[in-house]
């Protein structure tokens, strides 16, 4: 067990999800006490139970990252049960169908199309777009406001945001999610500068394409074969596969540890080469 992590406290929002639960388990394996925050209490408690079953220390806490009072209440639970936060992972995020177009390109014929369910750029719902921006950006800002106060008193603390490939180049169909993740990358740089004098480092992971419950039906068919979009992604990923949750943990531990003590304000792609490939 690594002495540099032993006894530290990590708070992970969206911790009930596939990627963030894997991060939680990786930190717990290093001796970190982990608070799993999730909108669904049962998901948070399930991940915490899996960690404690293997000898780690973890608690599950219900938390709505868009409700400051809910975050403050979760903070009190963490303080009482684990102590002040050393590592904050802003993992809560996601997309919404109302901020997504049906097709990759707009055609003139779409203006008069009567196709049921067709959503063009002109049909995007402002409320759906607002939901995506709030969940990804405000849902990272508010937990940081609450938990980073612990960190000011504990130099060497770390904040990890979750950006995306969309932040480098927007993907087709998902303008709201692309814009929101670009905001996360920008916020990471801003926050790194803002907190630099109190010893808090702020960096971000930018996952490439990982199969999760949120995107599985977009990328794979019921029989497990790839959809057209899934094939396009794999053909533009030099390593030729989707990421697995464990692919994130090495970079996560690096950014949380002493090996990156002079690293702040960076967004690291973990994408199998997707961001490096021009498509030609």
Q: What is the C-alpha to C-alpha distance for residues 165 and 31, in angstroms, rounded to an integer?
A: 31
Q: What is the C-alpha to C-alpha distance for residues 169 and 62, in angstroms, rounded to an integer?
A: 34
Q: What is the C-alpha to C-alpha distance for residues 78 and 88, in angstroms, rounded to an integer?
A: 12
Is there a catalytic annotation at residue 254?
no
Using an 8 Å Cβ cutoff, are 173 and 232 in contact? no
Which long-range CB contacts under 8 A does 230-237 form with residues at least 24 apart? 233/209, 233/274, 236/274, 236/277, 236/279, 237/208, 237/209, 237/271, 237/272, 237/273, 237/274, 237/277
Encoded tokens for 5:
């992590």
Q: What is the C-alpha to C-alpha distance for residues 199 and 153, in angstroms, rounded to an integer?
A: 9
Encoded tokens for 148:
């980073």
The SS3 assignment for 248 reads helix
Q: What is the C-alpha to C-alpha distance for residues 183 and 163, in angstroms, rounded to an integer?
A: 9
177, 209, 242, 274: which is the annotated catalytic residue?
A: 177
Kindly list the catalytic residues: 177
């Amino acid at each position: 067990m690594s002495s540099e992590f032993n006894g530290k406290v990590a708070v992970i929002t969206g911790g009930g999800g596939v990627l963030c639960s894997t991060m939680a388990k990786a930190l717990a394996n290093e001796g970190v006490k982990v608070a799993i925050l999730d909108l669904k209490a049962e998901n948070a408690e399930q991940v915490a139970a899996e960690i404690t079953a293997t000898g780690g220390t973890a608690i599950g806490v219900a938390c709505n990252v868009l409700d400051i009072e809910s975050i403050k209440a979760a903070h009190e639970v963490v303080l009482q049960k684990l102590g002040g936060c050393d590592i904050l992972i802003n993992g809560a995020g996601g997309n919404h169908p109302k901020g997504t177009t049906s097709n990759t390109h707009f055609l003139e014929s779409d203006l008069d199309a009567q196709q049921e369910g067709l959503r063009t750029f002109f049909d995007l719902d402002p409320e759906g777009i607002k939901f995506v921006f709030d969940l990804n950006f405000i849902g990272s800002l508010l937990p940081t406001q609450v938990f980073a106060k612990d960190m000011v008193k504990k130099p060497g603390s770390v904040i990890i945001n979750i950006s995306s490939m969309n932040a480098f180049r927007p993907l087709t169909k998902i303008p709201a999610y692309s814009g929101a993740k670009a905001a996360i990358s920008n916020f990471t740089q801003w926050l790194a500068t803002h907190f630099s004098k109190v010893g808090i480092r702020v960096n971000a992971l930018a996952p490439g394409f990982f199969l999760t419950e949120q995107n599985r039906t977009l990328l794979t068919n019921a029989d497990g074969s790839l959809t057209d979009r899934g094939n396009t992604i794999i053909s533009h990923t030099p390593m030729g596969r989707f990421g697995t949750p464990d692919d994130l943990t090495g970079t996560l531990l690096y950014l949380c540890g002493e090996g990156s003590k002079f690293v702040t304000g960076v967004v690291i792609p973990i994408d199998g080469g997707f961001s490096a490939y021009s498509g030609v």
